[in-house]
Amino acid sequence: MSALVLVGMSVSDVDRRAELLAAADRLDATVAFLQMGDPSLSRELTRLADLGAEEVTLVAVSLGLLAPGHSWLRRIAAHWWRERAGQRPSVVVATRLVTSLDQVEAALVDVRPVRGDEPGLTSDAWEHVDGHRHQVLVCRGPRCTARGSDDVVRALVLGLVEAGLGDHDVLVTHTGCQLPCNQAPVVTVQPDDVWYGGVDASSARLIVTDHLVDGRPVEGRRLPR
């Protein structure tokens, strides 16, 4: 028995689950997610192994921006393979990151096996909490997502890059529902305890320039506390 799994790499791919499932149905494949989606890649690999799969092929799919590096798919798959107790299938990974679902079959032409000696999930660089001065929490709950929080994240990240700010300055974090949902999309800035509602791409840019750079909260979008 062999199996094909389309792996959504970013939070944006979780938002587009229906598209992934439709493509998987056409290809006799299944879907898993690298982050913030169910089933996780590890859970889907376990399910297929328990069903007796002898080979599993993984294809990384990124339908939006801000996906982690393609190498993370191999890293996570290798971690599962090393930790798996009992029967485990061979796992192969397409070397190409798919950015459109019509590219999946072409990506299957070039695959590489997981050997188990790939880098692990830890590194000295990830041992300590970064010294960032702000953490920006972007709600990716159902209402916020429906109202465009993916565009908000994109605008925040691009604005921070343009301002020369990285993770060591401002850490942008996706979250589930934060409440209050009527104010979606919701963004909070900590440790300032400033909450914003109705955030769109243009106001996200203002949050970067006015609040995160100049230290002045954007009053037009600020929610009362």
Q: Does residue 108 share a domain with residue 19?
A: yes
Q: What is the pLDDT of residues 175-202, one digit of tens each?
A: 999 999 999 999 999 999 999 999 999 9
Q: Does residue 169 share a domain with residue 107?
A: no
126 within a domain of the structure (yes/no)? no
121 within a domain of the structure (yes/no)? no
98 within a domain of the structure (yes/no)? yes
| Domain final residue, candidates 52, 83, 113 | 113
User: CATH number of the domain that 50 lies in?
Assistant: 3.40.50.1400
78 within a domain of the structure (yes/no)? yes
Question: Look-up: residue for tokens 């909070």?
Answer: 188
User: CATH number of the domain that 177 lies in?
Assistant: 3.40.30.10
Euclidean distance between CA atoms 84 and 28, whole angstroms: 25
Q: Residue 134 in 3-state DSSP?
A: strand
Q: What is the pLDDT of residues 50-106, one digit of tens each?
A: 999 999 999 999 998 778 889 999 999 999 999 998 889 999 999 999 999 999 999
Euclidean distance between CA atoms 171 and 157, whole angstroms: 10
* pTM for the predicted model, two decimal places: 0.88
Domain coverage including residue 184: 134-221
- When divided into structural domains, the chain yields a total of 2
| Domain final residue, candidates 56, 78, 113 | 113
Contact at 8 Å (CB) between 170 and 211?
A: no
pLDDT higher than 90, residue 222: yes
Q: Does residue 147 share a domain with residue 102?
A: no
Q: Does residue 93 share a domain with residue 161?
A: no
129 within a domain of the structure (yes/no)? no
Sign of the alpha-carbon torsion through 159, 217, 131, 35: negative
- How many H-runs (helices) and E-runs (strands) does the chain carry? 8, 9
Q: What is the pLDDT of residues 128-181, one digit of tens each?
A: 998 999 999 999 999 999 999 999 999 999 999 999 999 999 999 999 999 999
Q: Does residue 149 share a domain with residue 97?
A: no
Q: Does residue 49 share a domain with residue 109?
A: yes
Q: Does residue 105 share a domain with residue 140?
A: no
122 within a domain of the structure (yes/no)? no
Q: Does residue 87 share a domain with residue 162?
A: no
